[in-house]
Amino acid sequence: MRLHRRIPQLFGYDLIHIQRNHPTLESHLKFLFEKLNINIVLDVGANRGQYGCLLREMGFTGDIISFEPLKEAYQELLQSSAGDVKWHTYNCALGSVSETTEINFTSSSVFASFLNPNEYAKEVRSEQVQIDQKETVEVKKLDDVFEEVISKCSGTNHQIYLKMDTQGFDQEVFKGAEKSIEQIAALQSEIAILPLYEEMPDYIESMTAFREKGFELTGLFPVSRDHDSLFLIEMDCVMRRKS
């Protein structure tokens, strides 16, 4: 067994293997971006810039606007985006209210969350969701910063894609975009089949909220599953506006 597949299993869950005849998230995004002429990506929960780097590797040449609240991860994000004049970064989180609050900081910044891990998370991801400390961060509503961040982008005919990966906080990000959501052509959210955090909505609640705002599903891409039960834990959900 290859090392990259063995490591996740040590923590009790599997990365999903993509067969050759199954579309990947990357190939789906390439098709979607071309179809909708996407030229701006709002990268919410940017961490160290992994998603932005993926977009550039895909050949995306539009503007990337990344939001990352953690100080250490943000410094790495700055390094990832250095020299890219169309990659803009902000050291804050997005949520349903503008405030200063604490975020749970784990051994891996990828799993940092405003929510507390539930009992299931402690069972399948005990080491990764163990809260080591808290960090005070700034949270803003997308509605409050939308015009400012979009004004830094090139061109005028903006076709915007909203990507959210915030460890259980995506719906709060979405609630903070009540006005600006009308200008979003498509979105991506990491939804939970089996929620890992207290008060985290499951995939039915999440997809219902997106559909109520006029979005319909274009693709679901498994992210992780429980190694013992084979139950899916998380999926990347991609949706586009109906009209």
Sketch the domain layout of the chain as residue ranges.
Answer: 31-97+141-241
Model pLDDT, residue 240? 99
Q: What pLDDT does 22 receive?
A: 56
> In this predicted model, what pLDDT tens digit does every residue of 61-83 receive, in sequence order?
999 999 999 999 999 999 999 99
- What whole-number distance in Å separates Cα of residue 110 and Cα of residue 78? 16
E strands in 91-178: 93-94, 99-106, 131-140, 160-164
What is the fold, at CATH topology level, of the domain defined by 31-97+141-241? Rossmann fold (3.40.50)
Residues 224-229: contacts with CB under 8 Å, at least 24 apart: 224/8, 224/13, 224/14, 224/15, 224/16, 225/13, 225/14, 225/16, 226/12, 226/13, 226/14, 226/124, 226/194, 227/8, 227/9, 227/12, 227/13, 227/14, 228/12
The pLDDT of residue 23 is 73
Report pLDDT digits (tens) over 101-115. 999 987 777 888 999
**What gap in Å lies between CA 53 and CA 40, rounded to an integer?**
14
